[in-house]
Amino acid sequence: MIKGIIFDWGGVFTHQGSFEAVIDDFVKRFEADAAETLAQMTAFWQAPRSGQKPSQYFWDGLGRHLRADPKAVREHLDSLFQFNPETLTLAHSLRGRYKLGLLSNHIEDWLEEKIAQYELRALFDAIVGSYAVKLRKPDEAIYRHTLDALALAPEQSVFIDDKPANVEAANALGMHGIRFESITQLKGKLTKLGVQAD
C-alpha cells in the first residue's frame, strides 16, 4: 500500500527541468555563447548543490563568466524556470492522506527561496536538499535518507522526477518511480498505483 509521495522540484514543480532547457533564452540577454555558458553553469553548479560551497559561488562564478551583476544573472535565470501551479494543486490534494516529501538536487538559496515563496514547509512532511545532506540523486543514500525522514519503506513510496536516471535509481531501491511528463500523465500513473490523485 502506498503511504507516501516524494516529489522532485525542477521539471516537476517547474516546467523546465534543466539548464539545457533555458540556455538559449538565457544567453540572449548577455550576448554570450550558449555552449560555453552551459559548460560554465554546469561546472559552477556542482559544488554548491553538493553542499561543498555556498550558493553564491554559483551566482558569482556565472556573473564573472558573463561579465554581469550576479543579482541580475540570478533574477533572469529564475524567471526562465516557470512554476507549474498544477503540481502544487495536486500536492495539496494529497496532503493529509499521504506523507509528502520533496527531494531535490539544488543549491540552497534558490530552493529555500521557493520553499518560502510557496509555503512548502507547511505542505511537505520532509524536505531534503542535496546541499543539506551532501548527497545527490541518483545516489541510493539520498533516497534512503528521505525515506527514513518520512518513516517509509521503499515499497510504500512513490517517487516523481523528470530525469530517467533518478527514477531508475528509485525503482532499483524498491520505490515506485514515475518519470514526470505532465499532470495528466502523472495522475494516471498514480491512479494505477492505487493513489487517490483527485
Per-residue pLDDT reduced to its tens digit, 44-91:
999 999 999 999 999 999 999 999 999 999 999 999 999 999 999 999
Mean pLDDT of 22-30: 95
- Confidence class of residue 198 from pLDDT cuts 50, 70 and 90? confident
Query: If you classify domain 4-16+82-192 with CATH, what class do you get?
Result: alpha beta
CB within 8 Å of 108: residues ≥ 6 apart = 48, 51, 54, 55, 129, 131, 132
> How far is Cα 151 from Cα 169, in angstroms, rounded to an integer?
19
Q: With 0.85 as the threshold, say if the pTM is over it.
A: yes
